[in-house]
Amino acid sequence: MLVFIIKRLGNAILVMLAVALLAFLIFRLAGDPVELMVGEQTSQQDRAALRERLGLNDSLPTQYIRFVVNAAEGNFGVSYRNGQKVLPLIAERFPATLELVFVATLISLVLGIPLGVLTAIKRGKWYTEGLQFLSIIGVSLPSFVVGILLILAFSVTMGWLPAFGRGDVVQIGWWSTGFLTQTGRAALILPSIALSLYQITLVMRLVRAEMLEVLRSDYVKFARARGIPRWRIYFRHALRNCLMPVVTMTAMNVGSLIAFALITETVFQWPGMGMLFIQAVTFLDIPVMAAYLCIISFIFVVLNTLVDIAYAVIDPRLRTAR
């Protein structure tokens, strides 16, 4: 088991080094950092001094090693647009994105699992076929289209919910939360639904496929022959054996939701990491772009590594699999 964990950690380190190389190349290929940081009135002497201070006169391998060391310490430089250190700037936006992803994941599980069970045990009914058709629409619609439709229906037409912003927030240490205010909770509803719609369809279809497979197994047939109530077979025996793939997929998709929440955050003007990244792309803020890439990749790598280790703990055969 120790060898397996060391191998997985080694793979994770190699992936992060590759991501750091990509982020470093963004620094070097997107333009001269000195030209992006100074104004037109800056003299050549000041430009040369800034280039020396930033270490841009060193060789590329030296600059890459310095970039990796600084990134490991959480030092991604200073934002060209805001003039602030990048890591505190991202940490300020991270709670908004994490709350949005948390609520979207919760909605996808609360709705997706029961709908998946329903479409499995009542297959062939008109309403389950309708749910299957709606799930295809949910997978096909882009999230920005869903967001615009939700704003049009619930904000513009009905006026029930806010169309943009995060509402009032409460500071708890360095963490800001909208859960503790009425406007914060109201502002969270529409973007969470828009972000969770695709995940709801994935969870529903996965649970349905797993339930159909489990319901054909011998132990379920034996339980029916013993006269065990159907609800107990469905929810205590069958569903419990279906949840492992759902938990795995949910854990893997948390990273995807954090990474791709930027579209939803842009539509709803949600002040999260995704919105910060879009602004960085607009203003060519290279340090923020590189830091966002490294942090999102780190989240992906950590989640993948934890899932691999959890699988190895559950199934010992994976520890020796080639």
For residue 305, being part of any structural domain is answered with no
For residue 213, being part of any structural domain is answered with yes
pLDDT at 39: 66
Which residue range is the domain that position 98 belongs to? 88-285
pTM equals: 0.78
- Classify residue 31 as exposed, middle or buried by CB count within 10 Å of its CB (0-12, 13-18, 19+): exposed
pLDDT at 317: 58
For residue 65, being part of any structural domain is answered with no
Distances, alpha carbon 313 to alpha carbons 1, 128, 253, 263, 319, in Å: 8, 37, 21, 36, 8
For residue 46, being part of any structural domain is answered with no
Spatial CA neighbour of 235 closest among 216, 215, 249: 215
For residue 311, being part of any structural domain is answered with no
CATH number assigned to the domain comprising residue 115: 1.10.3720.10
CA dihedral 44, 47, 53, 59 (to 10 degrees): -90
SS3 253: helix
pLDDT at 217: 75
Compute the Cα dihedral for 75, 80, 84, 90 and give only its sign. negative
pLDDT at 246: 80
SS3 84: coil
For residue 142, being part of any structural domain is answered with yes
pLDDT at 168: 85
- Ramachandran angles phi, psi of 137, nearest 5°: -65, -40
pLDDT at 292: 86
* 232 neighbors 58 (Cβ within 8 angstroms): no
What residues in the chain have per-residue pLDDT under 70? 1, 27-40, 54, 237, 311-322
For residue 191, being part of any structural domain is answered with yes
- Classify residue 310 as exposed, middle or buried by CB count within 10 Å of its CB (0-12, 13-18, 19+): middle
pLDDT at 315: 56
Residues 6+ apart with CB under 8 A from 164: 268, 269, 270
pLDDT at 89: 86
Q: Torsion-angle region of residue 162: left (phi > 0), alpha (psi -120 to 50) or beta?
A: beta
Number of compact structural domains in the chain = 1
